[in-house]
Amino acid sequence: MGCLISDSWVVVVLLLPVFWVFYKVWMMMMRRDEVERNGGGFAVPRGSWGWPLIGETLEFIACGYTSKPVSFMDRRKSLYGNVFRTHILGKAIVVSTDAEVNRMILQNHGNAFIPCYPKSITELLGKSSILQMNGSLHKRVHALIGVFLKSPQFKARITRDIENVIRVSLSNWMNKSCQVYVQDETKKITFEILVQVLLSVGPGEEMNFLKREFEEFIKGLICLPIKFPGTRLYKSLKAKERLLKMVNKIIKERKNAMQKTEENGPPNDAIDVLLRDTGYSDEMQQRRLPLDFISGNIIEMMIPGEETVPTAMTLAVKFLIDNPVALAHLVDENMELKNRKTRHVKNILGQITCLCHLLKIRSFTTSAHHTFSGYLIPKGWCVLASFSSIHMDEMNYENPYEFDPWRWKKVGAAVSSNLFTPFGGGQRLCPGLELSRLEISIFLHHLVTTYRWAAEKDEIIYFPTVRMKRKLPITIMPLQQ
C-alpha cells in the first residue's frame, strides 16, 4: 500500500509541470481571445477565468448549496466592481450586478441581446422555443398570451377554477395520515391549474399522463448535454416526444372543431389564443403559427406549473413557519375576509404583503443569460444579469436574508423600481405574472383558513433550482369550522 501511495505522488509531481504549462497556455489563449474579439480597442470587464476548462464552475455550484448563494457574485463584485467577467459552465460570461445595466438588458428589443442558455435547455426546448425566440415573433406570441391572461373574462373564470382545485386538493390532505410534503402537493395543484389554462384538460387519465411525462421531461433541463441512450438528456427528449404526440392530438382536434363551428367567442385557453391568431410577419409575408410550433410552446409554458409557482408557495409556508407573528397576522386577516358575505380576490392579493419578500427570495433562479454583440462586451460572450444580487444587496434592502413581510411599507417605491425584478421586465416580463400572484394568494388564503400545521426541520437548497431539501414535511391539523 505504501508503495502505491509513493508511486502516486511521483506521478502527481511529474505531471505538475505539464499542468502548469497547460494552465499558462490556457490563460494566454483567453487573453488573446479577449483582444481579438474586442478588436484591441476596448477594455473588457475585469475578472478571473479560474481553472483551465472548468473555470470557476465548482465555486459557483458550491455557493448554491450554502445559505447565501449570491456569495459567488458578492465576492467578485467586491474585487472587480458591479460588472465583471468569469468562466462558468463552459462559457465566458460577463456578470452584471448593476441595476441600471440589468434594466438596459431587460429593455432591449433584440438588437443588442439575444437569449443564451445552457446546451441541455436548448436541446430540450428546441429552436422555436419562446425562451430562445427573439424579435417580432417573440413579441407577437408574448403579447397574445399576456393579453389573454389579463382579460377580465379569463380572470373571472380562472379564479373559480383555482378556488375549486385548491379546495379539492386541501380536502384530500386529511387522507395522507395528517402528514403532507408541501413541495409535492403544491406541484400537483399548480400543474393542474396551468394545464387547464393551456389545454382545458381536467383531472383524469390525460392529466395524469401529462404530469408523469412532464416530470420526466423537466429533469433534463439542467444536465450534461449527452444524448446517448440511458442518459438523462436522452430520457427527457423521449418524454418530450410523448408529450408532443398528445398535445398535437389535442391541438388538431381543437382546430377541426373550430373550423366546423366557426366559434367567435372569447378564447377558453392558450391553444384557442394561438390557433386564432391572424398571423405573424415572416419575410414580408403573413403566416399563421404552425401546429408544431404551438405544441412545443404549450409544453414549455407548463414549466412554471412544475417549478416556479409551486416553489414560491412552498417557500411561503416555510417562511410563515419561521415567523409566527407574520403567520398570526395573516390568519387574522384571512379569517376576517372569509367571514365576510362578499369577498374579493383583490383584497386577498393586497393584504398578503409577505408575497413580495417571497418573490424576492425566489428570484435566485431568475437570472437571464444573453449574448451581447456590441460595445465593451466581446461579441459571442454571454451576459448574466444577476437580479438576485440586487435583491439581496444590503445597500438596497436592510437585512435582505431575513423574512420581513413589513419591509415593503418602509421601502415604498423601491418595489416597482429597478431594484425589484422577480418577474423580469421589458419584452421578457413574465406574461403569467398576475396568474402566479392569484394562485399563490388563493392558496395561502385557503391554507391558513383550513389548517394549522407543525413542521419538521428542513432547509432551502439553491442549486440547480430552488427547492426544499426534504420537500417540507408538515403535520396538519384541521380547524374547527
| Residue 85, beta-bridge partner list | 47, 94
Residue 466: the pLDDT is 84
Pick the CATH number of 136-366+421-478 from 2.40.50.140, 3.40.50.150, 1.20.81.30, 1.10.630.10: 1.10.630.10
Residue 24: the pLDDT is 53
Of the pLDDT bands very low, low, confident and very high (cuts 50, 70, 90), residue 21 is low
Question: How large is the average pLDDT for residues 153-166?
Answer: 92
Residue 2: the pLDDT is 47
For residue 243, pLDDT over 90 is answered with yes
Helix (H, G, I), strand (E, B) or coil at 424: coil
Residue 38: the pLDDT is 47
For residue 364, pLDDT over 50 is answered with no
63/463 Cα distance (integer angstroms): 9
Our separate counts of H helices and E strands in the chain read 20, 12
Residues 6+ apart with CB under 8 A from 305: 187, 190, 191, 192, 193, 194, 195
For residue 199, pLDDT over 90 is answered with yes
pLDDT: which is higher, 41 or 433 = 433
Of the pLDDT bands very low, low, confident and very high (cuts 50, 70, 90), residue 240 is very high
Distance of alpha carbon 333 from its chain centroid, rounded?
30
CB 269 within 8 A of CB 199: yes
Which residue from 113, 111, 95 is spatially nearest to 385, judged by alpha carbons?
95
Residue 296: the pLDDT is 93
Q: What kind and span of H or E run contains 460?
A: strand 460-461
pLDDT tens for 288-334 read 788 999 999 999 999 876 788 899 899 989 988 988 988 998 888 88
Residue 1: the pLDDT is 47
Of the pLDDT bands very low, low, confident and very high (cuts 50, 70, 90), residue 213 is very high
pLDDT: which is higher, 310 or 115 = 310
Which residue from 354, 449, 359 is spatially nearest to 163, judged by alpha carbons?
449
Torsion of CA 37, 127, 363, 111, to 10 degrees: 50
Residue 348: the pLDDT is 47
Residue 326: the pLDDT is 86
Residue 19: the pLDDT is 57
pLDDT tens for 367-396 read 444 454 344 677 777 888 888 888 888 888
Residue 274: the pLDDT is 93
Percent of the chain with pLDDT over 90: 32
353/218 Cα distance (integer angstroms): 31
Residue 430 labelled as part of a binding site = yes
Grid cell listed for 157:
373564470
Question: How large is the average pLDDT for residues 404-415?
Answer: 67
Question: How large is the average pLDDT for residues 45-55?
Answer: 88
Note every long-range contact of 152-156, with CB atoms under 8 Å and residues 24 or more positions apart, other chains counting.
153/266, 154/266, 155/434, 155/438
Residue 373: the pLDDT is 38
329/332 Cα distance (integer angstroms): 5
Residue 198: the pLDDT is 95
Question: How large is the average pLDDT for residues 444-450?
Answer: 92
Across the chain, mean pLDDT equals 79
